[in-house]
Amino acid sequence: MLPWILWLAAMSALSGSAFAGCPEGSIQFIPAPATTSTLARRDTSGTGPLGGAGQARYDLVAGTQYAFASVAPDENLGMAITTTDEYELVGVPGPAPISFHARLRLPGYLLTYCDPLFATSHVSVWSYLEEEGTGQRDATRLDGRIVCPDGTKDPFDHTLDLSVAHAVGVPFPLDLQTAAGAVFGEASIQGVLSFVLPPGYSIQSCQGYAGSGSVPTTSTTWGAIKARYR
């Protein structure tokens, strides 16, 4: 195993309780293989062989992800986070599915360099929000601009949006990914999940989502709710 992969493993901090039966999430320090876990919260950092650095973390309770890569010349590294959780609409049941929106806000920045002694920068971030098994998906990729001789730092703030419809009490899986990659530059992206709901409705999840539009839950209540609809 390469030393920088060993360093990644040593720096990986797994925290937050995992609810039994919840989907797995993954973190990948590219080009190393991804590591998976059912924990609700993870935070990982590492360094590459030429001094590049990366950090990735997610919190399914808060509904957040963060990926960062800062990379030296002649080095190609990235951080990718992919999570899945089962969400459920809470409220008064009706005769038809309730329409609402799931959104993933994506603030961050891309930093490029232009040095005559080295190749110019290549930096990118990418993300998607997908309702698993339905074909409903919104995605984006942003690439850094090459501006010589000084390089440039470009902030961005993008939002992915899914229009979904579900009956009260029926679990639905959402897949989220945020990733940052660079060669001789920096890339940073954060993902913040939220739901836009009709009055009187809220969202809970297997991992205890407590972000915008949520109602707090626990593993006991979630298990009882899922059992009721099986």
User: Tens digits of per-residue pLDDT, 48-62?
Assistant: 887 888 999 999 999
Average pLDDT, the chain: 83
pLDDT of residue 8: 35
pTM, rounded to two decimals: 0.83
User: Tens digits of per-residue pLDDT, 74-132?
Assistant: 778 899 999 999 999 999 988 889 999 999 999 999 998 877 676 667 899 999 999 99
Mean pLDDT on 184-192: 94
User: Tens digits of per-residue pLDDT, 119-176?
Assistant: 667 899 999 999 998 989 999 999 987 777 667 889 999 999 999 999 999 999 999 9
pLDDT of residue 26: 95
pLDDT of residue 49: 81
Beta strands 35-37 and 77-90: pairing type? unpaired
pLDDT of residue 223: 56
Q: Which residues, other chains included, contact 178 with Cβ-Cβ below 8 Å and sequence gap of 6+? A: 65, 66, 67, 80, 81, 106, 125, 126, 127, 189, 190, 191
pLDDT of residue 228: 41
DSSP, collapsed to helix, strand or coil, labels residue 81 as strand
The torsion of the CA quartet 211, 213, 219, 223, rounded to 10 degrees, works out to: -150
pLDDT of residue 94: 82
User: Tens digits of per-residue pLDDT, 207-228?
Assistant: 999 988 776 554 445 455 455 4
Biggest alpha carbon–alpha carbon distance for the chain? 67
| Paired tokens of 11 | 């720096």
Residue 112: domain span = 3-229
> Phi first, then psi: what are they for 10, rounded to 5°?
-70, -30
**Number of folded domains in the chain?**
1
User: Tens digits of per-residue pLDDT, 5-26?
Assistant: 323 333 333 445 555 589 999 9
